[in-house]
Amino acid sequence: MTVPRVLYIDDDEALIRLAQKALKRRGFEVTGAASADAGLALLAAEPFDVVTLDHTMPGRDGLDTLAELMALPHPPPVVYVTGSDDSRIAVAALKAGASDYVLKAIGEEFFDLLASSLGHALERQGLIAARLSAEEELRASNERLAALVLEANHRVANSLQIVSSFIQIQANAVTTPEARTALKDTRQRVQTISRLHRRLYTSDDIQTVELKEYLATVLSDIEDAWSTELAPRAIRFSAETLRLPTDQAVSVGVVVNELVSNACKYAYREDQPGEIRVSMTRGADAFHVAIEDDGVGFSGGTAPKGTGVGTKLVDAMARSLSATVSYTTDGGARVLLTVPYGD
């Protein structure tokens, strides 16, 4: 077991010699310094585990010296020794950074108290060092985990992009319009999720997503996917800022992709330009995403036509969000997604 090294700063050299003998019997190795300057010079030259500092010294008193000790890059714990029973001195020393204080006396009782204070100071220092080490290890571990998650999102985004390319190749190869449309829908769904993973890879925050920015990229992809030279689809988007947990953002993105893609396909004739308006607003208990068009509308208060896959996806994602989806038509169609805020 390593013997703790004590630097004993006191202008009384006789007391230093006495302390060296007494503290050695109590398990400490003591080096004396008869002035503040000598003590600071020793600390600069070699390491000590703990310092004993006397209050009354010529030139600079203990409090001045304590301030210089605490200004060191890695100050050792300091036990302050004073011959005065004035509590203000002890309080000032503790406020200045001393670990403990002991009233100076001559006798074994004084050295017992001093040894006890030195032991407690070293124990506290050890606990502090252990805590800092644990915090540093935890910080490094968190950084490694964050890097791994970012890399995972990067790989997922790349993999989804490859899948999207395969689907596009397959869509170009099929001959039936229905199959081509179904593959186009599937590719757009993959792109919606891929966009989110791409955003997570380039963000410092992997727990939440800024929904406005995310939906803007999703809608831009939809506009490009369903516009033709003869019949462009113009998507107008307005939104308030809102951060959502990543899993909720995925669900909202899937719902918006399905509803807006459906409007692009069915609201207007294939040879007719059309506009789809998407807005997101925040309420007291929920946020709302409205999707409107000026197209043919639909009847019966039900969802617009389609293969049914999109409707099932919308229903499943809405349930995961505890959300409601309502459809109205009056000179066009309007779909309202209402999502309550999570806990």
> Mind listing the pLDDT tens digit for each residue in 108-119?
999 999 999 999
Banded model confidence at residue 156, pLDDT cuts 50, 70, 90: confident
**pLDDT at 219 > cutoff 60:** yes
At 243, which helix (H) or strand (E)?
strand 243-245
**pLDDT at 205 > cutoff 80:** no
User: 282 is written with which tokens?
Assistant: 């925040």
What is the bridge-based pairing of β-strands 274-282 and 243-245?
Answer: unpaired
Residue 327 contacts residue 337 (beta carbons within 8 Å)? no
- Residue in this structure with the two tokens 């947990």, named with its chain if needed: 245
User: 333 is written with which tokens?
Assistant: 């169609």
Which sign, positive or negative, has the C-alpha torsion 260, 305, 193, 187? negative
Q: What is the C-alpha to C-alpha distance for residues 111 and 135, in angstroms, rounded to an integer?
A: 36
Predicted structure pTM score: 0.55
Mean pLDDT across the chain: 87
> Mind listing the pLDDT tens digit for each residue in 162-189?
887 888 888 888 888 888 888 878 887 8
> Mind listing the pLDDT tens digit for each residue in 26-42?
999 999 999 999 999 99
**pLDDT above 70 covers what percent of the chain?**
94
**pLDDT at 148 > cutoff 90:** no
| For residues 317-337, average pLDDT | 90
Banded model confidence at residue 56, pLDDT cuts 50, 70, 90: confident
Residues 2-22 as b/e (b if ≥16 CB within 10 A, e otherwise) read: eebbbbbbbbbeebbeebbeb
Which alpha helices (DSSP H) does the chain contain, by range?
13-25, 36-45, 62-70, 87-96, 108-173, 177-201, 211-226, 246-266, 309-320
The more confidently predicted of residues 298 and 212 is 212
pLDDT at 243: 92
pLDDT at 280: 95
Banded model confidence at residue 303, pLDDT cuts 50, 70, 90: low
Domains in the chain with CATH codes: 5-136 (3.40.50.2300), 208-343 (3.30.565.10)
Which phi and psi angles does 155 have, rounded to 5°?
-65, -40
